[in-house]
Amino acid sequence: MHGYNSVLIMGEAKRRKNLGIPPREKTEDINLPQFDKKAIQQKVRSTLYKYPVIPFVIYGAALLILIGGLFFVFKSLKIS
């Protein structure tokens, strides 16, 4: 029982050694692109200066979704 249990708990390195397989090659670290906060802020600001109506459209859409959701909830629960 003890031997069978140790096979289940055995780590990958020990298992590879017992099977005669060479150790796994180490992977290189992935280099993620750098996050440039100032460049993104500049792009957002230039877009908002170019199209100043965007915030009003976003807030209007959010308000319509909120009102529609409340209407759906009241209608489905038959509160009104």
| Alpha-carbon distances, residue 2 vs 5, 7, 12, 23, 44 (angstroms) | 5, 9, 19, 26, 63
- Does a structural domain hold residue 1? yes
With respect to residue 15, please indicate whether it lies within any of the assigned structural domains: yes
Predicted confidence (pLDDT) at residue 62 exceeds the cutoff of 90: yes
Q: Would residue 74 count as lying in a domain? A: no
Whether 34 maps to a domain, the answer reads no
Residue located via tokens 């003890």: 2
Does the residue 51 lie in any domain? no
Look at the block and give the residue holding tokens 């009104």: 80
Structurally, the chain folds into a number of domains equal to: 1
Please give the residue range of the domain that contains residue 17: 1-25
Query: Is residue 3 in some structural domain?
Result: yes
Average pLDDT, whole number, for the chain? 85
Higher pLDDT, 48 or 6: 48
* 73 domain-assigned: no
pTM of the predicted model as reported, rounded to 2 decimal places: 0.47
d(CA 35, CA 38): 9
